């Protein structure tokens, strides 16, 4: 599908090295947007940027650690030097590290909170002035936050992960209240079971097996399903804000 309204826009994709971020970057670039690719894995970003440029698109690989404020500030400076101000931000960097709360895994809690919540806030802080300026000058301005169905559906063992996703859903709602009057659109997308790398870092064998079992019994969403939804959402006329989208595999719905 073609999304003509994306042509000429400048997008930042946080979490672009794989999964939803990677496929979103490919789709936005294919539809004429310049894309700044932000993630930790520089080699993956360079490969993705080369792929986009080989297809005639424009991409910039910007290695960044969203848990480090200085790294995010430096990444924003790099993006601005190359592309100028941006008008579309996709916040998809995140980690999922489930364990029973009784395991007391503060290392995992801290990593999820600092990546999924504080990391998203750092990206927003770095690029929000661009979005406000874009809207003030009559251009479309979008902030898209990716959370999860876990924001409001409880899964045993996923308490802290779910709490971080609920935080992003609530943050998005609050930002709409702050920014809607400024004509900056804020969209929160909550996917259900999606085939990405997110589950690869689970170190609990029982929970990992449960997740594998879900993939075996139902047809999951794919990363490009979410990319398609992001492209559709951000290509609507500027006065239309799809504020929250819950997207599930049909068998999970």
CATH number of the domain bearing residue 238: 3.40.50.720
On whether residue 68 sits in a domain, the answer given is yes
Q: What is the mean pLDDT of residues 145-164?
A: 93
Domain range for 40 is 4-247
Over the Cα atoms of the chain, what is R_g? 17
pLDDT digits (tens, 9 = 90+) for 94-141: 998 989 999 999 999 999 999 999 999 999 999 999 999 999 999 999
Lowest mean pLDDT among 23-27, 75-79, 198-202, 238-242: 198-202
252, part of any domain: no
Q: Which residues of 81-100 are buried (b: 16+ CB within 10 A; e: fewer)?
A: eebebbbbbbbbbbbbbbbe
Q: Tell me whether residue 148 is in a domain.
A: yes
pLDDT per position as a tens digit, 17-45: 999 999 999 999 999 999 999 999 999 99
Position 1 confidence tier, pLDDT thresholds 50, 70, 90: low
Strand partners, 145: 91, 188
Contact 244, 188 (CB under 8 A): yes
Is 183 a member of any domain?
yes
Mean pLDDT rounded to a whole number for the chain:
94
CA 168 to chain centre: 11
Residue 161 falls in the annotated catalytic set: yes
Please check the confidence at residue 199 and state whether its pLDDT lies above 70.
no
Is 20 in contact with 146 (CB distance < 8 Å)?
yes
Given 3, 158, 161, 232, the catalytic residue: 161
Q: For residues 94 and 146, is the Cβ–Cβ distance under 8 A?
A: yes
Tell me, yes or no, whether 229 lies in a domain. Answer: yes
Tell me what pLDDT residue 43 has.
95
| 214 part of a folded domain | yes
- Tally of structural domains, the chain: 1
- The answer to the question of residue 253 being in a domain is no
Count CB-CB contacts under 10 A for residue 206: 12
């Amino acid at each position: 599908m073609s999304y003509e309204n994306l042509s000429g826009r400048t997008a930042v994709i946080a979490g672009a090295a794989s999964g939803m971020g990677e496929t979103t970057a490919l789709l936005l670039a294919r539809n004429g947007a310049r894309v700044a690719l932000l993630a930790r894995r520089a080699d993956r970003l360079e490969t993705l940027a080369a792929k986009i440029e080989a297809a005639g698109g424009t991409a910039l690989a910007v290695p960044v650690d969203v848990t480090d404020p200085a790294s995010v500030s430096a990444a924003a400076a790099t993006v601005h030097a190359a592309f100028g101000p941006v008008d579309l931000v996709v916040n998809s960097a995140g980690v999922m590290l489930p364990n029973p709360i009784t395991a007391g895994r503060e290392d995992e809690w801290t990593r999820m909170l600092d990546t999924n919540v504080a990391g998203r806030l750092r990206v927003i802080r770095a690029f929000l002035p661009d979005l406000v300026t874009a809207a003030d000058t009559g251009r479309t301005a979008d902030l898209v936050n990716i959370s999860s169905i876990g924001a409001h559906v409880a899964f045993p063992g996923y308490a802290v992960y779910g709490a971080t996703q609920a935080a992003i859903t609530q943050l998005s709602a609050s930002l709409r209240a702050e920014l809607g009057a400024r004509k900056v659109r804020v969209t929160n997308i909550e996917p259900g079971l999606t085939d990405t790398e997110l589950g690869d870092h689970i170190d609990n064998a029982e929970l990992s097996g449960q997740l594998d079992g879900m993939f075996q019994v139902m047809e999951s969403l794919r990363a490009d399903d979410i990319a398609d939804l992001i492209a559709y959402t951000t290509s609507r006329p500027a006065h239309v804000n799809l504020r929250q989208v819950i997207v599930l595999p049909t068998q999970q719905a």
